[in-house]
Chain A
Amino acid sequence: NAGVTQTPKFQVLKTGQSMTLQCAQDMNHNSMYWYRQDPGMGLRLIYYSASEGTTDKGEVPNGYNVSRLNKREFSLRLESAAPSQTSVYFCASSELSGPLGSYEQYFGPGTRLTVT
């Protein structure tokens, strides 16, 4: 049971290049999320997917696209990378459960992206 896995762990891009960050979970969760983490800003939601086949924008979606490939996988694509997208990216998954009737999010280890 690996939980949430992300690839790659590190990536350096030049401005204008494109790339896809991969995320997979093996907990059979319906909901998945992409966040970015910047110093002093906390974690900000980029996109989320409530269930397979659906995606929706979060707080900071500009410059990103996502694909919910199947229930397990949720990818994040940067079509034309910009230095402002230098960040640590986290994928998470969750399911409505527990005594509080809430979603506990499980996070992956992150991808550290630098755009020069």
Chain B
Amino acid sequence: QQQVKQSPQSLIVQKGGIPIINCAYENTAFDYFPWYQQFPGKGPALLIAIRPDVSEKKEGRFTISFNKSAKQFSLHIMDSQPGDSATYFCAASWAGGTSYGKLTFGQGTILTVHP
């Protein structure tokens, strides 16, 4: 069962554009929502994460927006650069000791930023 649905599958923007990737989750027990970035031939790496007690979190050019009532969250990349071209995964978990960090991932979005 796919508990985290991610869209779009692929996204092409021009340099300086603001790509937006969306995710929706089903399990209301989830309370930790990370985004991972993956470059070709590499493993994913944590980009930014949020807990549902805030509606927005910014780290540099990356922003997570969170809508708890809609069970949706999204990643915005400001002033996108060709170096941001990668695959992005959203994920969800319940934080804390008993989850042991098990993550449920979305399907991934391949982002291409043209110069």
| A residues 57-116 in Cβ contact with B at 8 Å | 58-59, 90, 92, 94, 96, 100-110
* B107 and A42 contacting across the interface, CB-CB below 8 Å: yes
CB distance from B39 to the nearest CB of A (A): 11
User: Which single residue of chain B is at the shortest CB-CB distance from A3?
Assistant: B43
* B108 and A107 contacting across the interface, CB-CB below 8 Å: no
Q: Say whether B12 faces chain A, with CB atoms less than 8 Å apart.
A: no
User: Which single residue of chain A is at the shortest CB-CB distance from B49?
Assistant: A100
Which residues of chain B have C-beta atoms less than 8 A from A53's C-beta? none
A106 to B41, CA, bound (A): 15
Majority SS of interface residues in chain A? strand
Question: 1/0 contact trace for B1-24 toward A, CB 8 Å?
Answer: 000101001000000000000000
Q: Say whether B74 faces chain A, with CB atoms less than 8 Å apart.
A: no
* B107 and A105 contacting across the interface, CB-CB below 8 Å: no
Which of B65-73, B75-83, B93-101 lines the interface with chain A?
Answer: B93-101
Which residues of chain B have C-beta atoms less than 8 A from A58's C-beta? 102
Q: Say whether B25 faces chain A, with CB atoms less than 8 Å apart.
A: no
Q: Say whether B103 faces chain A, with CB atoms less than 8 Å apart.
A: yes
Mark A residues whose CB is within 8 Å of B: 4, 31, 33, 40-45, 48, 50, 58-59, 90, 92, 94, 96, 100-110
Instruction: Give me the 10 closest cross-chain CB pairs, A-B, nearest first.
Output: A103-B101, A107-B43, A42-B105, A50-B100, A102-B95, A94-B101, A43-B105, A42-B107, A102-B32, A104-B46
Mark B residues whose CB is within 8 Å of A: 4, 6, 9, 32, 34, 41-46, 49, 51, 89, 93, 95-97, 99-108
28 contacts between A and B (CB under 8 A): A33-B102, A41-B107, A42-B4, A42-B89, A43-B44, A45-B104, A48-B101, A50-B100, A92-B43, A96-B97, A100-B49, A100-B51, A100-B95, A101-B95, A102-B34, A102-B51, A102-B93, A102-B96, A103-B100, A103-B101, A104-B46, A105-B103, A107-B43, A107-B44, A107-B45, A108-B43, A109-B41, A110-B43
